[in-house]
A = this chain, B = another copy of it.
């Protein structure tokens, strides 16, 4: 698969100078139709394609972006990544995918490598523990997803709004004893923001909060919901659909049918298994898309730093 031929060979083969070939390659106007035709033909014939490295060296961009996910198997991140890919391909960018495993240290390493590569841009899935210091140098070519940081472009999900949406819906059904299963505040978005929104809503509407915190796993939902049941809740809001699945599993096993389970994420599996659940679509796909668009816009100079928030909506 070596690309043995160079622009020189093509020039020779079609009897023109290499700059002419270059012009043809870059679709510049000032080439006579016949010459262009001839060159194109040779290029086609020889299956020639110009070396990216060489043009990269000429100051052209390498057309590579990086996507740093925390875990590739997180459904939300997965969905966001899949939404970005076509947008990048379409603009001729190839995405390098890197996993941070929620380690700031690893992000640092990755950025180090990316720097050598003269990468064009980065989409970083944010998580708690990332320092502004290591990111600001990248600000012009970086978009952070799922978290924001002063002086950085970002696309966030509306964590608080999602919780409110669910709470309102429950209130409207005249359900006032509502529990919450979340994750530790160590996690800013899924943890802190959603718990906080729950607390605030309870206070504002004079509801007694019932909170249980654990991990972002179905096991956690399964194990924590009994605590809440002992407080006679009529409904429970889970900080994620994964947790909700765990909670539902417990209720099903105990044959408890009068507790409304709510989740966040609109995971299709939750709906399939427990159609009676309520979930909020946070817009992971839309988030990925927005992040990619924002990055592309930043790269071609048509946009400056910007913090976006993707609205969520109740899933049907």
Contact = CB atoms under 8 A, between A and B. Distances in A.
A269 B269 contact: yes
A163 to B, nearest CB: 25
How many copies the complex holds: the figure is 2
Contacts of A89: 98
Question: Binding site of A, secondary structure by majority: helix, strand, loop or mixed?
Answer: helix
A111 to B, nearest CB: 8
Given A53-B57, A73-B82, A82-B72, A219 B249 contact: no
B141 A1 contact: yes
A263 B78 CA distance: 24
A118 B73 contact: no
Interface string A69-92: 001110100110110010001000
A116 interface: yes
A95 to B, nearest CB: 6
A118 B272 CA distance: 45
Nearest to A222: B272
Interface string A232-268: 0000000000000110010000000000000000000
Interface stretch (A13-21, A44-52, A173-181): A44-52
A115 B48 CA distance: 10
Interface residues of A, number: 48
Interface string A192-224: 000000000000000000000000001100100
Contact of A249 (B56, B75, B97, B272): B272
A146 B185 CA distance: 41
Indicate the member of A57, A79, A117 with the most B CB atoms within 10 Å: A117
A245 B271 CA distance: 13
A3 B112 CA distance: 11
B272 A219 contact: yes
A316 interface: no
A3 B118 contact: yes
A148 interface: no
B73 A79 contact: yes
A301 interface: no
B94 A95 contact: no
A96 to B, nearest CB: 5
A116 B57 contact: no
A230 to B, nearest CB: 23
A1 B137 contact: yes
Nearest to A71: B82
B53 A118 contact: yes
A54 interface: yes
Leading 8 A-B pairs by shortest Cβ distance: A53-B56, A97-B97, A49-B116, A53-B57, A53-B53, A94-B96, A52-B117, A73-B78
Given A72-B82, A218-B269, A245-B269, 6 more contacts: A51-B57, A52-B53, A52-B116, A52-B118, A72-B78, A72-B85
